[in-house]
Structure 1
Amino acid sequence: MTAPVARIEDRLYQNRYVVDAGRPHIKVRPHQFPSTNLLALTRICPAKCYEVNENGQVEVTADGCMECGTCRVLCEANGDIEWSYPRGGFGVLFKFG
């Protein structure tokens, strides 16, 4: 008998996120055209925090970020994003570990 497969959305729902209103820990730097890596974040961010807006710009909604580091590895070194840890008491709260 095989185990049931849980969708990533179902697993992420178990976590909670405490929003630090007005102080996001991730910022997308202004860009005329998004880089290939920045566009990739719209597909590979596990929490789906990145999206392309109606003007073709990539923007981030840090609420729900799992702080996994995917965006840091992909975009911080080339200057596409600014990333810092959330202030104490804010950010992701993992329910199961």
Structure 2
Amino acid sequence: MKPLPRVNIDDRIFTLKYYVDEKYAHLKIKDPTVCKRCAEKPCLHFCPAGVYRLDRRGEITVGYQACVECGSCRVACPHANIEWDYPRGGYGVAYKFG
């Protein structure tokens, strides 16, 4: 049997459609000072969509508009410092095939 071709996660994410809720961020950091004290900053690595980034000041920023709603951030943060909810009805990611 022929192996399936490998697909880059960025190519998959590119096919998604987002309905951004400008009034309510469904994803946020509870306490930014906890992130400043965290040496490893695992949130920069575990999100498949790259929602978490460091800004110029070295602070974690959250681009909730690109969230694929996998929930890995609420599980993987060792400090339980991420507040994650499903987006309000009609908002969030729309998967093309399901």
After TM superposition, the score normalised by the length of structure 1 is 0.84
- The CA deviation at 1:78 is 3.1
Q: Is the partner of 2:65 in helix, strand or coil?
A: coil
Please list every run of 5 or more consecutive structure 2 residues that lacks an aligned counterpart in the other structure. Answer: none
In the comparison of the two structures, how many residue pairs are matched?
Answer: 95
Q: Report the CA distance shift for 1:71/1:34 in structure 2 as closer, same or farther (over 3 A).
A: farther
- The CA deviation at 1:36 is 4.7
Residue correspondence of structure 1 range 1-97 to structure 2 within 5 A: 2-32=3-33, 33-36=36-39, 39-75=41-77, 78-97=79-98
Please list every run of 5 or more consecutive structure 1 residues that lacks an aligned counterpart in the other structure. Answer: none
Q: Report the CA distance shift for 1:30/1:55 in structure 2 as closer, same or farther (over 3 A).
A: farther
Q: Is the partner of 1:85 in helix, strand or coil?
A: coil
Check conservation: 2:74, 2:80, Cα contact below 8 A: no
C-alpha RMSD of matched pairs (Å): 1.9
After TM superposition, the score normalised by the length of structure 2 is 0.83
Query: Runs of at least 4 residues of structure 1 off by over 4 A?
Result: none
Q: Is the partner of 2:90 in helix, strand or coil?
A: coil
Taking only the aligned residue pairs, the percentage that are identical comes to 38
Distance 2:12 2:37 in 1: 30
